[in-house]
Amino acid sequence: MTKHFLLGTAGGLALTVGLASAAAAQSTTLTIATVNNGDMVRMQGLTDDFSEQNPDIQLEWVTLEENVLRQNVTTDISTGGGQYDVITIGTYEVPIWAQNDWLVSLSDGMSEDWNESDLLPAVASGLSVDGELYAAPFYGESSMVMYRTDLMEEAGLEMPDAPTWEFIREAAAAMTDRENDINGICLRGKAGWGENAAFLTAMANSFGARWFDEDWNAQFDSEAWSNTLNFYLDMMEESGPASAANNGFNENLTLFQQGKCGMWIDATVAASFVTNPDDSQVADKVGFALAPDNGLGKRSNWLWAWSLAIPSSSDNVDAAKTFISWATGQGYSELVAENEGWANVPPGTRASLYENPEYLAAAPFAQMTLDSINSADPTNPTVDPVPYTGVQFVAIPEFQGIGTQVGQQFSAALAGQQSAEEALAAAQQLTTEEMEAAGY
């Protein structure tokens, strides 16, 4: 009897181990490369919901700073390395990489309730080639002015819904209080095509500047670029934070949340972070306005979407589509709302979100975000005609390298290592050389 029981137990253990081994063999592991911003970190914290629904799919995360992420992902996908199953990329990369057959189409194979037709047209069009979607937007954004309503009132000024750059500079000077460590304005200074070069390119559009003329000749030797960069540098010297050349999106977000910025012009997606009382010391003192202009018909707002895509080199396409359907679907928005409130739902991707009364009531920035996204025109981004698309970038493969090099020149000027004229001369030379080498 005892022997029979022991043998039965041993057999049961063997069966259990065998079943566990079989389950492990059938399990799929997805390696996901993403950026270290607040929305993506929040997603990682909510993936227990995905794992409960999909116990056969394991998730491994590679979370990187923006510039490092771009470098790693670009190297891997261009060489067919196959290191990642899901990658976080933006509106710049998607059409270029899709045309190179580096990405898997998402126009089929997604979950039944994912609903591609609900995506905002302005965002979806930037992630599509020949009518096929190659990345699913996790959040969409433009840029806008976020400002301290209390400091604006103390300065005796009132922020217009559509301010000019001259007003921004005047307000920044009036709100600056060096003794109390309050900077009138915080803007990107960290070098990178997606950091300071993105901001300054969008700003330059409103000054009448452009990267290239219609014959692909670099335009950094133009008066419009000189006006743009000198205005930026002078305003930052008057009213910006110390060591601004080291500050990108995340650094300026922290400064604003700590009450150290009177104004911050950056991505609309930041609105939920600066108005969240758990993170922001000034959550109840924030107003919003459109990105500034100069009366030339172009505002300085961009258009972008951080999106999830599948490299063609992935061996786990079906599982990757299952994950992307979860992370970018309407159900995920409801999950965030349930855990952290409607104001923290990833914005700028779905029309249904901007028809949801609960979201509109919880997010005072919702309409300004939608207006900013809809007003950006990547096919006609500048005052004078250009041969490229893209608002804060130029949609050609060479831009990633050229944009970062130009951003380094601008950052050096902000750090006081060279003048605006020297930075623009260097930008003109290196851009011309790189474009000629590329055959333009």
Residue 10 has pLDDT above 90, yes or no: no
Please indicate, yes or no, if residue 367 is contained in any of the structural domains: no
271 and 410 in a common domain: yes
pLDDT of res. 22: 43
Q: Give the Cα separation of 292 and 299 in Å (integer).
A: 6
Question: Quick one: tokens of 24?
Answer: 């492990």
Q: Residue 219: helix, strand or coil by DSSP?
A: coil
Residue 38 has a pLDDT of 86
Show the domain range for 11.
Answer: 2-141+304-362
Could you tell me if 95 and 198 lie in one domain?
Answer: no
- Please state the domain count of the chain: 2
- CB contact at 8 A, 269 and 39: yes
Per-residue pLDDT at 98:
96
| pLDDT for residue 17 | 44
Q: What is the pLDDT of residue 19?
A: 39
Is the pLDDT at 163 greater than 80, yes or no? yes
Answer whether residue 7 shows pLDDT above 70: no
Element (H, E) at 30: strand 28-35
Predicted pLDDT of residue 144: 98
Structure confidence at residue 8 (pLDDT): 44
Tell me the per-residue pLDDT of 217-228, one tens digit each, with 9 for 90 and over. 999 999 999 999
Same domain, 230 and 330: no
pLDDT at 6 over 60: no
pLDDT of residue 67: 83
Has residue 9 got a pLDDT over 80?
Answer: no
- How large is the average pLDDT for residues 47-64? 96
pLDDT digits (tens, 9 = 90+) for 390-402: 999 999 999 999 9
Residue 242 located in a structural domain: yes
Listed range (12-21, 122-131, 372-381, 414-423) with the worst mean pLDDT: 12-21
Tell me, yes or no, whether 234 and 383 share the same domain.
yes
Asked whether residue 294 is assigned to any structural domain, the reply reads yes
Verify that 114 and 230 share a domain, yes or no: no
Residues 379 and 238 in one domain: yes
Instruction: Summarize the confidence of residues 167-193 as an average pLDDT.
Output: 97
> Is residue 403, in this structure, part of any structural domain at all?
yes
Residue 237 burial (10 A CB sphere; 0-12, 13-18, 19+)? exposed
Say which range, 22-26, 346-350, 393-397, 433-437, has the weakest mean pLDDT.
22-26
Is the pLDDT at 254 greater than 80, yes or no?
yes
Residue 360 Cα distances to 172, 304, 313, 348, angstroms: 30, 22, 40, 13
Residue 368 lies in a domain: no
- For residue 16, what pLDDT is reported? 43
Residue 417 and residue 316 in one domain: no
- CA separation, residue 226 to residues 200, 210, 220, 291 (Å): 12, 11, 8, 20
**What value does the mean pLDDT of the chain take?**
93
50 strand-pairing partners: none
241 vs 25: CA distance, rounded Å? 54
Same domain, 90 and 183: no
Are 156 and 125 within one domain?
A: no
Q: Is the domain of 194 the same as that of 268? A: yes
pLDDT in tens, 296-339: 999 999 999 999 999 999 999 999 999 999 999 999 999 999 99
What global pTM score does this model have?
Answer: 0.86
pLDDT range class, residue 37, cuts 50, 70, 90: confident
DSSP category for residue 293? B
> What's the pLDDT score for residue 15?
43
Q: What mean pLDDT comes out for the span 53-73?
A: 94
pLDDT digits (tens, 9 = 90+) for 184-218: 999 999 999 999 999 999 999 999 999 999 999 99
- Locate 232 and state its tokens: 């930026």
> What integer is the mean pLDDT of 266-280?
95
pLDDT > 90: percent of the chain: 92
